[in-house]
């Protein structure tokens, strides 16, 4: 069975902690052991695992990506004006695979699961699939 998470973003660029929603999906499915696959349904937002203990890490990632691939950079040819968002999404990647153990995703002490928004604010969907 495939489930979908709905995530409302608030800014053009931000990292949104979706860990609580992922844990809710695991509990709803009743999975104790296995894998969970997460897939962004969009070309301008990505998924990543990174530190969630200090919110400055997420802010730093957004800031650095803006420096590396600035919005409105000259030379992009895509007509919608969001080419930077497409590049940032490709750098981060649209999917994650996580291991589930004892009903929880296995993450390090400081790790969290994030949706990386690069062209918001928008309502985003993340597909969720489980495997034994």
- pLDDT at 79 exceeding the cut of 80: no
d(CA 104, CA 86): 31
- pLDDT at 78 exceeding the cut of 90: no
- Is the CB of residue 128 less than 8 Å from the CB of residue 37? yes
pTM of the model: 0.94
pLDDT in tens, 18-62: 999 999 999 999 999 999 999 999 999 999 999 999 999 999 999
Q: Which domains does the chain have, with CATH numbers?
A: 2-131 (2.60.120.460)
Q: Bigger pLDDT: 97 or 73? A: 97
- pLDDT at 75 exceeding the cut of 90: no
User: Which of helix, strand or coil describes residue 113?
Assistant: strand
């Amino acid at each position: 069975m495939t489930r979908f998470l709905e995530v409302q973003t608030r800014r053009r660029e931000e990292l949104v902690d979706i860990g609580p929603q992922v844990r809710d999906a695991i509990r709803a499915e009743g999975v104790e052991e296995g894998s969970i696959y997460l897939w962004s349904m969009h070309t301008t937002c990505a998924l990543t695992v990174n530190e969630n203990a200090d919110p400055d890490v997420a802010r730093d990632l957004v800031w650095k990506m803006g420096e590396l691939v600035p919005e409105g950079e000259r030379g992009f040819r895509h007509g919608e004006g969001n080419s930077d968002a497409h590049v940032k999404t490709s750098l981060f990647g649209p999917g994650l695979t996580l291991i589930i153990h004892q009903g929880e995703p296995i993450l390090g002490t400081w790790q969290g699961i994030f949706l990386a928004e690069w062209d918001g604010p928008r309502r985003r969907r993340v597909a969720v699939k489980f495997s034994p």
